[in-house]
Structure 1
Amino acid sequence: MTEPPQKMARREQAGKAKEEEAPTDASIIIQFQSATGETTGPQLDIPHTVTPQQLETLLNGLLANEDKLPYSFYIEEEELLGELGAHLAAGGLSVEKALTITYQPQAVFRVRPVARCTASMPGHSESVLTVQFSPCGTMLASGAGDTTVRLWDLNTQLPKTECKGHKNWVLVVAWSPDAKYLASGDMNGSILLWEPASGKQLGACSGHSKWITSLSWQPAHRPGALPSSRFASGSKDNTVKVWDAATRRCVLSMSNHSALVTAVLWGGEGLIYSASRDCSISAWDEADGKLVRVFKGHGHWVNTLALSSGFALRTGAFDHTGKAPADIEAARAKAVERYAEATQGKPERLVSGSDDFTLCLYEPSVGKTPIARMTGHVQLINQVVFSPDGRFILSASFDKSVKLWDGARGTFLATLRGHVGPVYQVAWSADSRLFASGSKDSTIKVWDARTRKLKVDLPGHADEVFTVDWSPDGGSVASGGKDRVLKLWRH
């Protein structure tokens, strides 16, 4: 008895679908390649069912690593997350010739996601506007609308010192990369320097006529930068100034902006970057303050800047355990080594976020034309941050979303939705696997960078969360906001 035509058609369709889903071949010839394009080992014939974990074991053997190191694998810029054959079939990729698999080392240590609030630390009598962990991860500073800077003891989770001296809202705090100084800037244009160990005020840097919007210290790997002595400031008075921390004097003053300077970053290649509401970004020579380059990629205010080496610049000679060599020369050598690891011999990359809803990605030492103009947000971008390994960029926007981008090419990777209010700030974990976001909706959310999914939802604040930071040792997240309470979150 013959089958009805409809049944035969359905069976043939099912057979075709099964063939399409079937793995590419019984075996696949691959060639490992490093991120810099160098081939590793010979071509290998492997089964189509191989997983990233098995590739990792194979690669560790080829590289003769005594300790097994973690790696992620990419095929034509797409990360391999499951079986190789299924990945190739899904992407319609040919295996007629040897398949190049690019590998990227991951952080050896793994940060655990924060899951609970371990301390609610009251003390500020107005909104907490800024929090920042020290480069070693053992200290925490906060600045608030009550004109004070507070230092917190992370062991006891209690206030350590209340630093008084400002006469107006404290808008920004910044640690020196050797953790010997803390600088803070306020709405009057005053910058105060503090000794973190004692909370003692070391003096004031006076020169700006309007509020301080940004502070950034000279990176530890630069010649003569240790012990830390110089830092840059940006102000509403349209100027950028460089200060000597020991004498509290202004050593350089730079001005070409025609509007408020929103962000200042001291880069690792000898340039100081400043972003402004005049829609431009300027690059200045750290030695003499001369204008080197102007970037004009945005059509509205530039709100935020980030560098691909930002984490290495922030932590200097400190590793993920919070330890650094005590000897100055050894610390400088360690800082140079960590910066070299972060850049891998490639030019530093700079990303900017703007009120025009876009991001621009640059290689400032190479040219002033953007590598990529990144679009997708539908409201202003409040903050951009590179992951510690420089492979990803996060952007936080008033459109209630966080977007994830490729850090090298600027290509869009994912939109993370979960907040019901504008997202003010984002912060990466030190291993680049997790990140936290703080929002007007009063919550902190922790996300997984690999799965692009929400990991933990952390309600607890009674009002808007203005600021969030993840400690360099990975152990804690700090947040502060309109409810005047500083919270510590741990696993």
Structure 2
Amino acid sequence: MNNLPNKTSRRRLTSLLFVGLALSTFYARSFYYHELDAFLVIEHSGGVQCASFSPDGFRILTAAGDGNAILWDMATLRRNRNGKITPGVSGIMRHESLVHCAIFSPYEKYITSLSDSGAVSLWNPDIANRTSAGISMLQRTHQFIPPGYSSARSESSEAMLNPLVDNMAFHKEYNWLLTFSGTSDAWVWDMDSLPTGVAAPDVKAFLPHESTVTFARFRPGSDNKQQVVTASDDGQAILWNLDEPDYKTIENSAPVPVPARMAVMEHSESISYFAFSTNGSLILTTSSDDTSKLWDLDQLLEDDSTPTKPLLKATLPHDGDVLYAAFSPDSRKVVTVTASAIRLWDIENPKTAPDGKTVFNLLALISDPVGNTGYAAFSADSHRLLTLGEQQNATIWNVDELVLDENNLPIPAKVAQVVFPAGQLRAALSPGEEYLMLSTSGQDQGVWNISRYLSGHGLSLSYQGITFLLPVFITWLHQPAWQGFKLR
């Protein structure tokens, strides 16, 4: 009996056990990650080309290769014939050809879709006509094709479109729509000029190039509201000023406004993508010349012998075509993606190389082959990074905590991972980051949804037309992913 611990010793032992349990839990959360399980299904009859959320996050659009775009109501859940929980269908939008993408206008006034025929269609999301078979069909209010589109596309039977990006975008403040469709030009449309009965909106700007336009977006920032950047297959990215147009006649059409070129950024080969910093002052271009370049758009360099160029802050070297790039919201880090690896760079603390060039520190290299997937996204607080890999995984990383991989190289700590059928994916965040949509094109494709992945609510995966929502246990406490929705 004398060998038994007394009450004080037992209390100390209990305290040590609790401390050990807490330390082991912290260790586990630092070096282990969660694998995710499915709980919600979204069915689609055709191969999904893209997906996007409504501004309020309760409705979802999918565009497919079978010519259908579908509006889903996430607030009306039901069970399908297999007993799986799925959202209700608010309406179907039928097209004459493959649908490249479909997006909501600001304030959800209408849905805009772009098909392979080059036609831009507008749909009323609140008016659906029910067929005799009980199918809800949304009402198409307008349809138009950019002037000269048919002849420009006649040289090739396939659309020269980047399958990883949406080919339309709305301005954040003005009701302007930016489109590009596999031709050597992009268009900005004034959607406020669409009264009932008018076939097409007024052209706000016509943006011509010498080769195929691969990407285009409005420049963010309060001082940049009239600016657009377009990239093309000839290795040029152009900064346009919509406030200073000239006018040009295209194939017997009425003269259209052509904005002034403010600056040109150049690579030796095609530019596939670019990303802006949060305030729009910096732009990171990606190219098939094995580099990504960081430019300062607020510092334009005048040179009589060459086009005006922004200040080139740094060239980031890679071992292959750079497919994708993203800034962290705090603009301290960038991520770049090639077919063989994902790189995390520190751009807040540049260094000067012996040759006088600016060099950024490579924080981590994730050797996870991504094929042509080419996607990465930071969380709103800049602490998490989501990437897609060709080896059947989507991964969430903690970029604030670096650990060593099997080759003793630094990589971010893995937080969560989901296994999915390999394929070519792209993604779009919903407002407030409650969801992240990931979609693929082709036969083996689908739509991924991450629901509140910062607070641990759910991730979705679809393969060959069936989408699964999966819980993401980033926090230890799990809450139902359909919280706030009604099951019918």
Please state which band the TM-score falls in when normalised by the shorter chain.
0.5 to 0.7
Q: Name the residue aligned to 1:382.
A: 374
Counterpart CA distance in 1 for 2:97 and 2:183 is 17
Between 1:209-218 and 1:363-372, the stretch displaced more is: 363-372
Matched residue pairs, number?
340
Q: Name the residue aligned to 1:58.
A: none
Q: Tell me the amino acid that sits aligned with residue 239 of structure 2.
A: V
Q: Kindly tell me: are residues 431 and 178 of structure 1, through their superposed partners in 2, closer, same or farther at Cα, counting changes over 3 Å?
A: closer
Q: Kindly tell me: are residues 243 and 302 of structure 1, through their superposed partners in 2, closer, same or farther at Cα, counting changes over 3 Å?
A: same
8 Å contact from structure 2 (residues 446, 463) kept in 1: yes
Counterpart CA distance in 1 for 2:393 and 2:12 is 36
Q: Tell me the amino acid that sits aligned with residue 419 of structure 1.
A: F
Q: Counterpart of 1:245 in 2: which secondary structure?
A: strand
Give runs of aligned pairs for residues 39-438 of structure 1, distance below 5 A.
86-91=21-26, 114=74, 115-119=86-90, 121-134=92-105, 136=107, 138-156=109-127, 158-165=139-146, 166-167=149-150, 168=153, 169=159, 171=161, 172-197=167-192, 198=194, 199-221=200-222, 223=223, 225=224, 228-246=225-243, 247=245, 248-267=258-277, 268=279, 270-287=281-298, 288=300, 289-309=309-329, 343=330, 347-363=331-347, 366=350, 368-380=359-371, 381-408=373-400, 411-414=412-415, 416-438=417-439
Question: C-alpha deviations, 1:219-271, integer Å up to 9, x for none?
Answer: 133x3x3xx31110111011011112342323234243111001123332522
Counterpart CA distance in 1 for 2:22 and 2:58 is 28
Counterpart CA distance in 2 for 1:456 and 1:20 is 46
Q: Kindly tell me: are residues 462 and 242 of structure 1, through their superposed partners in 2, closer, same or farther at Cα, counting changes over 3 Å?
A: same
Counterpart CA distance in 2 for 1:196 and 1:393 is 35
TM-score, normalised by the number of residues in structure 1: 0.59
Q: Tell me the amino acid that sits aligned with residue 189 of structure 1.
A: S
Counterpart CA distance in 1 for 2:459 and 2:415 is 15
Q: Tell me the amino acid that sits aligned with residue 304 of structure 1.
A: Y
Q: Kindly tell me: are residues 126 and 254 of structure 1, through their superposed partners in 2, closer, same or farther at Cα, counting changes over 3 Å?
A: same
Q: Kindly tell me: are residues 92 and 129 of structure 1, through their superposed partners in 2, closer, same or farther at Cα, counting changes over 3 Å?
A: closer
Structure 1: where are the runs of 5+ without partners?
1-17, 27-47, 49-84, 94-108, 310-342, 464-488
8 Å contact from structure 2 (residues 297, 311) kept in 1: no
Counterpart CA distance in 2 for 1:390 and 1:144 is 35
Q: Counterpart of 1:286 in 2: which secondary structure?
A: strand
1:25 Cα shift? 7.5
1:375 Cα shift? 0.9
Question: C-alpha deviations, 1:273-301, integer Å up to 9, x for none?
Answer: 21111111122232423232233242111
8 Å contact from structure 1 (residues 193, 245) kept in 2: no
Question: C-alpha deviations, 1:180-215, integer Å up to 9, x for none?
Answer: 211111322111111234250415534311111111
8 Å contact from structure 1 (residues 116, 490) kept in 2: no
Q: Name the residue aligned to 1:446.
A: 449
Aligned sequence identity (%): 13
More strand by share: 2
TM-score, normalised by the number of residues in structure 2: 0.59
1:111 Cα shift? 6.1
